[in-house]
Chains A and B, each alone.
Chain A
Amino acid sequence: MRSRALVARGALVLGLVFLYVPILSMIVFSFNNSRLVTVWDGAHSPTLKWYAALIHNEQILHAAWLSIRIALVSATAAVVLGTLAGMALARFGPFRGRLLLAGMITAPIVMPEVITGLSLLLLFVATEQLIGWPKGVGAVTITLAHITFCMAYVTVVVQSRLTGFDESLEEAAMDLGARPTRVFLAITLPLILPAIASGWLLAFTLSWDDLVITQFVAGPGSSTLPMVIFSKVRFGVTPDINALATIMVLLVASGIAVSAAWMRRRQKLRERDLQLAAAANL
């Protein structure tokens, strides 16, 4: 027992160090005055000049704004489509075309992005020839591509939540006179909302972060943030990217911390309620 636990815990510590050292090093060197990034310039550091440079970098700001807009639309559409697919797969039992849907849903999750990107671009080229749309690639094609691979992830999240769901709640609602649509809107949806929310966040992150697929389906005028970053870092490290990374890490970390604290508070309230109810007689 001891040796196993020791090995496991040792690996855990090693793994966490492995995961966080690169992130921490990026953060540390974002305050380094040297252009060489990883050679610490003790005399003039720490400095905020790279952050200032970042804020004035038009290209990066423009790209970030485009990425956000695309991610917002993609995440929302992916959530709608993913919830529909999740409902169908979790609640409809066997139906004609189920195998097709189930197969197409899980494939984008593992498919190498170069393949998905290539195939989507070739699709847009083909449709442009056939029906004249889209006229060149750009934000629209990027969004369509993102929706397609994001919805797969949302479906998995929603479907697994629905299969763990107590069906007797939906049955009770129907028993009391609610038609299936009403059951979904009044009972199912409110209760799977946390899953849908986390699906939305997942889709947003995947869209915001995507490089390879976007490179295929982006046009000359539409550069997303990952594309800008990639073109800069292909040729080596640049300190303003470190600053960007630090900002993103801090945003994500605070987001996670806030949601964790909020969930802990809800859990405490529930436990208190349960105790009170148990103490009450009958």
Chain B
Amino acid sequence: MNASQTSVPMPASLDPASAYVRIANVTKKFGEFVAVDDVSLDIQRGEIFCLLGGSGSGKTTLLRMLAGFERPSAGQIVIDGADMSAIPPYERPVNMMFQSYALFPHMSVDKNVAFGLEQEGLSRADIRRQVSEILDIVKMGGYGARKPHQLSGGQRQRVALARALVKRPKLLLLDEPLAALDKKLREHTQFELLNIQQRLGVTFIVVTHDQEEAMTLGQRLGVMNHGKIAQVGTPADIYESPATRFVADFIGSVNMFEGRVSDEGADFVRIDCSELGCPVRAERAVSAARGATVWTAIRPEKINISRQPPAAGAPGADNAVRGTVREIAYMGDMSIYLVQIDSGRMLRVTLPNISRGGERPIARAESVWLSWHGSSPVVLTE
């Protein structure tokens, strides 16, 4: 997928008819306020799907509708072929891991995890077996007698996960699963979650505002904004080929310029960009007419810094601009350069800190040339 499109792209390999969870034109209004606006999504069986968005984007409301705590104002939710409209949360094959974990404070870990099984009327022996099984999977075996207030944050999270998974639900909903953990723990838990999901094969839908979390966990992402889906795709799709300015800006950092199409063809487009001070040549086809206003987005890591202008004929030669290094932020593995170009705009460039065979590293106030390959810019029409 390397052509930017104006419609929400769906990976061609996924067949809508086999969708395990189908969200069809779901809208949710609270009085006059539209929290979820005509959202349609198909989620495949066994995949990890991440809903990514800021606060107020509607992602949590959508999640709660999947769980059954809110009823859609319009639209339909179908899970494994069954329409969920009239089904209350205690009858859905869906379980949720709450952001606050919501462990029952007056019950032990064992009883917490067993609670869901008890509602199904299984035998005591069966329940005990399944509980100890799932606690082993989340590495909390032996903690059965403890009460929630005797556990640390990470431990509580694992119990919450165990409790939600023990019933082997068709769909597991996770509400900001890593938000309450510190950085080290977060990385560790991300991989554990992936592990457990692969082992059990449960379909996950994760709601988060953290891009890193979404990119690590999600096999596919849905970016939400103001109640609508801005784009659906794999992390690479979304990062490399954002569909809108919002998505480009929301994920990672980006340098964005407004410009006008001066020339276009089957596999290229030339954009006049006064902010940049040089025309941009992008090796993509764009569905915009000559003279139309478009935006060019270039990721910081795709820009090259050098003291000399790129040689004529070299890749990136026709996308080059001069500037002065204003700030350098040293991040250890890479450095962020803020370069001011002649038009006054600041460009953000990142370079990994690898010493280039004896070359003196770029310093502040140096005059440099910024260049990029023609395939790097993304051209957006909205």
A/B touching: CB–CB < 8 A? yes
User: Does any Cβ of A come within 8 Å of B69's Cβ?
Assistant: yes
User: Does any Cβ of B come within 8 Å of A21's Cβ?
Assistant: no
A282 lies within 8 A of B154 (CB): yes
Give the CA-CA distance A280 to B142 in the complex, in Å.
14
B149 lies within 8 A of A175 (CB): no
Given A175-B96, A177-B120, A277-B89 contact (CB < 8 Å): no
Chain B residue contacts of A176, Cβ below 8 A: 90, 95, 115-116, 119, 163-164, 167
Please report whether the interface of chain A is mostly helix, strand, loop or mixed according to DSSP: helix
Classify chain A's interface size.
Answer: 20 to 34
B149 lies within 8 A of A172 (CB): no
Contact residues, A220-268 vs B (CB, 8 A): none
Contact residues, B141-156 vs A (CB, 8 A): 147, 149-152, 154-155
B119 lies within 8 A of A178 (CB): yes
A277 lies within 8 A of B151 (CB): yes
Chain B residue contacts of A270, Cβ below 8 A: 149
Give the CA-CA distance A147 to B102 in the complex, in Å.
36
Give the CA-CA distance A273 to B120 in the complex, in Å.
32
User: Does any Cβ of B come within 8 Å of A114's Cβ?
Assistant: no
User: Does any Cβ of A come within 8 Å of B88's Cβ?
Assistant: yes
Across the two chains, which residue of chain B brings its CB closest to A276? B150
Contact residues, A126-179 vs B (CB, 8 A): 166, 168-169, 171-179
Given A276-B150, A282-B152, A282-B154, A175-B104 contact (CB < 8 Å): no
Across the two chains, which residue of chain B brings its CB closest to A172? B102
Give the CA-CA distance A141 to B139 in the complex, in Å.
61
Chain A residue contacts of B96, Cβ below 8 A: 171-172, 175
A190 lies within 8 A of B149 (CB): no
Given A174-B90, A177-B167, A277-B149, A282-B106 contact (CB < 8 Å): no
Total interface residues on B, CB under 8 Å, equals: 32
User: Does any Cβ of A come within 8 Å of B98's Cβ?
Assistant: yes
Across the two chains, which residue of chain B brings its CB closest to A178? B119
A175 lies within 8 A of B105 (CB): no
B88 lies within 8 A of A190 (CB): no
Chain A residue contacts of B119, Cβ below 8 A: 176-178, 182
B89 lies within 8 A of A171 (CB): yes
Contact residues, B76-128 vs A (CB, 8 A): 88-91, 94-96, 98, 100, 102, 104-106, 115-116, 119-120
Leading 4 A-B pairs by shortest Cβ distance: A176-B116, A177-B119, A172-B102, A168-B102
List 21 interface pairs A-B (beta carbons < 8 Å), by A numbering.
A168-B100, A169-B104, A171-B69, A171-B96, A171-B102, A172-B104, A173-B104, A175-B67, A175-B96, A176-B90, A176-B119, A176-B163, A176-B164, A178-B90, A178-B115, A179-B90, A187-B104, A270-B149, A277-B151, A280-B151, A282-B188
Listed in ascending order, the chain A residues whose CB lies under 8 Å from chain B are: 166, 168-169, 171-179, 182, 186-187, 190-191, 270, 273-274, 276-278, 280-282
* 4 extra interface residue pairs, beta carbon distance < 8 Å, beyond A175-B68, A176-B116: A176-B167, A177-B90, A178-B115, A179-B90
